[in-house]
Amino acid sequence: MTFVGEYEHTLDAKNRVFMPARFREQLGENFFVTRKMNKNCLAVYTCEKMDQISSQINAFPDSEVSEIKEFLFSKSVQATPDSNGRIVLPQQILDYAKIKRDVVIIGAGDHIQIWNADLWRENEKERDIDKIRRNLASIGL
């Protein structure tokens, strides 16, 4: 399953955001939303992908990954869209991603990311396209 595309939406007063229909179709009825480890955004994973991530983390001794487990799982939520396609995002993870109102929801291959719209635009401006081209060339793309 590959998630692609970029969608702009607005968080409502009840911390609900519309999950694009195409993504909902791919995610299924339930999925997980958590903090992205290496970026100030949220990551959305299918239940199957979250199980895979959990298994990978659990393969290491707890002494090596306890902080990763705490970071990833303590603020994760299982989400189920309402009849209007909206999901509720807890304030704690919204604060982590600096999301207040406007969001950009992007496909990131094996998962979805939810960004503060301003941070996403900054990220796009600062992206090193030449580095991306070199990395793609190094793997034959």
Q: What percent of the chain has pLDDT over 90?
A: 74
Contact 114, 42 (CB under 8 A): yes
Contact 62, 79 (CB under 8 A): no
User: Token pair 């999925």 is at which residue?
Assistant: 31
CATH number for 6-138 (one of 2.60.120.10, 3.40.190.10, 3.40.1550.20, 3.40.50.10190): it is 3.40.1550.20
Higher pLDDT, 126 or 19: 19
pLDDT band at 65 (very low <50, low <70, confident <90, very high): confident
- The yes-or-no verdict on residue 71 having pLDDT over 90 is no
pLDDT tens track for 90-132: 999 999 999 999 999 999 999 999 999 999 999 888 876 777 7
Provide CB contacts within 8 A for 100, sequence distance 6+: 11, 94, 116
Determine the residue type at 123.
Answer: N
Domain ranges of the chain: 6-138
pTM above 0.85, yes or no: yes
> What is the pLDDT, as a whole number, of residue 45?
97
Return the closest-CA partner of residue 116 out of 10, 4, 2: 10
> What is the pLDDT, as a whole number, of residue 64?
85
